[in-house]
Chain A
Amino acid sequence: MSIVIRNVRPYGEDAVDLVVKHGVIIDIVPAGTGTANAEYRFDGEVVLPGLVDLHTHLREPGREDAETIRSGTQAAALGGFTCVHAMANTEPVADTAGDVELVWRKGAEAGYCDVRPVGAVTAGLRGERLAELGAMADSAAQVRVFSDDGKCVSDALLMRRALEYVKAFDGVVAQHSQEPRLTDGAQMNEGAMSARLGLAGWPAVAEEAIIARDVLLAEHVGSRLHVCHLSTAGSVEIIRWAKARGIDVTAEATPHHLALTEDLVATYDPVFKVNPPLRTEADVEALRAALADGTIDIVATDHAPHPREAKDCEWAAAAMGMLGLETALSVVIETMVDTGRLTWREVAERMSTAPARIGRVADQGRPIAVGEPANLCIVDPRTDWVVDPARLASRSRNTPFAARTMRGRVVATFLRGQATVLNGVLQ
Chain B
Amino acid sequence: MRHLLSTADLTRDDALLILDTAAELARISDRPMKKLPTLRGRTVVNLFFEDSTRTRISFEAAAKRLSADVINFSAKGSSVSKGESLKDTALTLQAMGADAVVIRHGASGAPHRLANAGWIESTVINAGDGTHEHPTQALLDAFTLRRHLRDGEGDLTGVRVTIVGDVLHSRVARSNVLLLHTLGADVTLCAPPTLLPVGVDTWPCTVSYDLDAAIADADAVMMLRVQLERMNAAYFPSAAEYSRRYGLDAQRMATLAPHTIVMHPGPMNRGMEIAADVADSERSVIVEQVSNGVSVRMAVMYLLLGGAESGIGGIA
Contact = CB atoms under 8 A, between A and B. Distances in A.
Nearest to B106: A316
A267 B112 contact: yes
B110 A194 contact: no
B133 interface: yes
Contacts of B108: 187, 197-199, 268, 315-316
Contacts of A269: 113, 116-117
B270 interface: no
Interface residues of B, number: 32
Nearest to B130: A198
A164 interface: no
Contact of A195 (B112, B129, B202): B202
Chain A interface size, as a band, is 20 to 34
Given A195-B199, A198-B132, A315 B113 contact: yes
A197 B198 contact: no
Interface string A188-225: 00111111111111010000000000000000000000
Contact of A317 (B80, B171, B199, B200): B80
Interface stretch (B82-90, B257-265, B277-285, B307-315): B82-90
Identify which of B83, B110, B129 gathers the most chain A CB atoms within 10 Å of its CB: B83
Interface stretch (A7-15, A239-247, A306-314, A339-347): A306-314
Contacts of B84: 309, 312-313
A300 interface: no
A183 to B, nearest CB: 13
Contacts of A203: 198
A313 B131 contact: no
A133 interface: no
Contacts of A187: 108
A313 B83 CA distance: 5
Given A198-B129, A309-B83, A314 B105 contact: yes
B198 A199 contact: no
A318 interface: yes
B271 interface: no
A198 B131 contact: yes
Nearest to A268: B109
A271 to B, nearest CB: 11
Given A267-B112, A268-B113, A317 B198 contact: no
Contacts of B87: 312-313
A313 B105 CA distance: 12
B251 interface: no
A168 B163 CA distance: 60
B113 A313 contact: yes
A309 B83 CA distance: 8
Interface in B62-88: 80-84, 86-87
Interface in B99-118: 105-110, 112-113, 116-117
A198 B134 CA distance: 11
Identify which of A191, A194, A317 gathers the most chain B CB atoms within 10 Å of its CB: A317
Contacts of B81: 317
A268 B83 contact: no
A314 B199 contact: no
A316 B202 contact: no
B112 A196 contact: no
Contacts of A315: 107-110, 113
Given A197-B108, A198-B131, A314 B197 contact: no
B297 interface: no
A116 B132 CA distance: 43
Nearest to B196: A195
8 contacts: A201-B199, A203-B198, A268-B109, A268-B113, A312-B84, A315-B108, A316-B83, A316-B130
Given A190-B198, A314-B83, 6 more contacts: A192-B201, A197-B109, A198-B109, A314-B110, A316-B107, A317-B83
Interface of B: 8, 80-84, 86-87, 105-110, 112-113, 116-117, 129-133, 171, 174, 197-203
The 9 closest A-B pairs by CB, nearest first: A317-B83, A198-B132, A313-B83, A268-B109, A195-B199, A195-B197, A192-B199, A316-B107, A198-B108
